Amino acid sequence: MGDSLMDGVTSIMLLPDDCLCFIFNFLHCRTDRESFGLTCHRWLNIQNLNRRSLQFPCSFGIVGPSSLSQSCTDINSFHLYRILARFQHLEYLSLSGCAEILDSALSYLKPYGSKLQTLCLDCCFKISDYGISLVGDGCPFLTTISLYRCSITDTGLEALANACLALRHVNLAYCSCISDSGLRALSQGCRELQAVKISNCRGVSGVGLRGCSSTLVYIDAECCNLEPVGIMSIVSGGGLKFLNIACLSCSNFRNGLEAIGNGFAARLKILNLRMCRSVTDASIVAIAKGCPQLQEWNLALCHEVRVLGWASIGSNCHNLKKLHVNRCRNLCHQGLQAVRDGCKELSVLYMSRNSRISDTALELFKLYRCNVEIKAEEVMSIGPNWDSIDYDEST
């Protein structure tokens, strides 16, 4: 290199690999990053070594710089082997939507997937418990896994929990074959859990989360067959900040939600009770008193909440910023007045089709609380993304 410089000849090819890696990491455009690897074999190798994330175009989500450029709708074992052998430093891999991929393909994670931290297998319908056990063997440092609509059972979940002790974010939504037994293995084996999605898991009552870690701050259990003792188990860790138990179908929940307000959920900030039609004033009063940090509360279609419940919200929810009351049949002008006079931090009220609220009551609310924005839209989902939750002991 010295002789070349003395002759006045310079070339980017004379730069060492670490300098080329530095340059590559400043390329944010997908086209530029792919063109970099087309220059020569040496630059292609640098591109391969520096790729940290990868998702296929058939993956759910926005296709971005981490996606492969070619179309690939039927990923098989051979494709995955070639990909993992080429990109050996991946930290994020999404195979979501690759419905034809088999268990055997995941065996290649053992030699090449040791650095993976996030793995998405949403709608990989042919992945079974054996495939999940291969994930555990090959990815010991996994922190995030999404198994939405996968055909796994408690056996696969137990194998995952035993192998991936560092798991923090787990999506099991629509995994219809799991039960509280698998959840118990997960919550007891992975003591750094922060977020769990079990929505539409009909075999789950909630008791599997009894004694969960205080790091567990996010639980989405919408449309589950939860029981009162399951609710107590869900909040037993004491660190919960987000809880979605919308669409509870059990009739024994008239007062079964009082457990949320019994002290273990004092740090709760976002609570979704949408379509919990049988929840009564007793539960609302307990939650309003026992969850002083609540900032957003969805009570849309909670028809049994009456004046006593709304009055308790007004008296106790001093940090409430967003309240959803769409289609609450028993919200009358007295209940609205209690919210108006009590919730001083309220900034948004989602309100529509409340038949017992007169135009006069609504105009009075606007007059006294002109700083509150009233929105007619009915929001189906609230809260942060499950995989972006980060445990903070100070809040």
Kindly state whether residue 69 falls inside one of the protein's structural domains. Answer: no
Instruction: Give me 204's structure tokens.
Output: 């789950």
Query: Any idea what the CATH number is for the domain that residue 27 is in?
Result: 1.20.1280
Taking 3-state DSSP, the helix, strand and coil percentages for the chain, each rounded to the nearest 5, stand at: 35, 10, 55
Query: Any idea what the CATH number is for the domain that residue 346 is in?
Result: 3.80.10.10
* 209: Cα within 13 Å, side-chain hemisphere: 33
Kindly state whether residue 248 falls inside one of the protein's structural domains. Answer: no
Angle at CA of residue 139, ends 134 and 145, nearest 5°? 90
Total structural domains within the chain: 2
C-alpha distances in Å from residue 390, one per residue of 48, 363, 378: 30, 41, 28
C-alpha distances in Å from residue 247, one per residue of 11, 14, 31, 298, 380: 65, 64, 45, 12, 11
Q: Determine the 3-state secondary structure of 141 from DSSP.
A: coil
pLDDT tens-place values along the chain, 395 residues long: 445 444 555 677 777 878 877 777 778 887 887 788 778 877 777 777 788 889 876 655 544 444 444 444 577 888 899 999 989 999 999 999 998 899 999 999 999 989 999 999 999 999 999 999 999 999 999 999 999 999 999 999 999 999 999 999 999 999 999 999 999 999 999 999 999 999 999 999 999 999 999 999 999 999 999 999 999 999 999 999 999 999 986 555 666 799 999 989 999 999 999 999 989 999 999 999 999 999 999 999 999 999 999 999 999 999 999 999 999 999 999 999 999 999 999 999 999 999 999 999 999 999 999 999 999 999 999 999 888 877 675 55
Q: Determine the 3-state secondary structure of 363 from DSSP.
A: helix
pLDDT, position 9: 59
Is residue 383 a contact partner of residue 242, using CB atoms and an 8 Å limit?
yes
Kindly state whether residue 315 falls inside one of the protein's structural domains. Answer: yes
The DSSP result for 23-36, as a single string, is HHTT--SHHHHHHH
pLDDT, position 47: 79
Q: 359 lies in which domain range?
A: 268-278+294-378
pLDDT, position 292: 96
Kindly state whether residue 263 falls inside one of the protein's structural domains. Answer: no
| Alpha helices, H only, the chain | 2-6, 17-24, 30-37, 41-50, 77-86, 109-112, 129-138, 154-163, 180-189, 228-234, 281-290, 307-316, 333-342, 359-368
Q: Which of 10, 26, 50 is the last residue of a domain?
A: 50
Nearest to 37 by CA among 23, 21, 48, 53: 48
Kindly state whether residue 258 falls inside one of the protein's structural domains. Answer: no
Contacts of 7 (CB under 8 A, 6+ apart): none
The DSSP letter of residue 214 is T
pLDDT, position 42: 78
Kindly state whether residue 349 falls inside one of the protein's structural domains. Answer: yes
Give the span between the Cα atoms of 92 and 55, in whole angstroms: 8
Give the span between the Cα atoms of 381 and 158, in whole angstroms: 30
Q: Tell me the residue length of the chain.
A: 395
Instruction: Give me 73's structure tokens.
Output: 């709708």
Q: Which of 33, 50, 67 is the last residue of a domain?
A: 50
Q: Is the dihedral of CA 355, 357, 360, 363 positive or negative?
A: negative
Kindly state whether residue 29 falls inside one of the protein's structural domains. Answer: yes
Angle at CA of residue 379, ends 375 and 384, nearest 5°? 115
The DSSP letter of residue 207 is G
pLDDT, position 251: 57
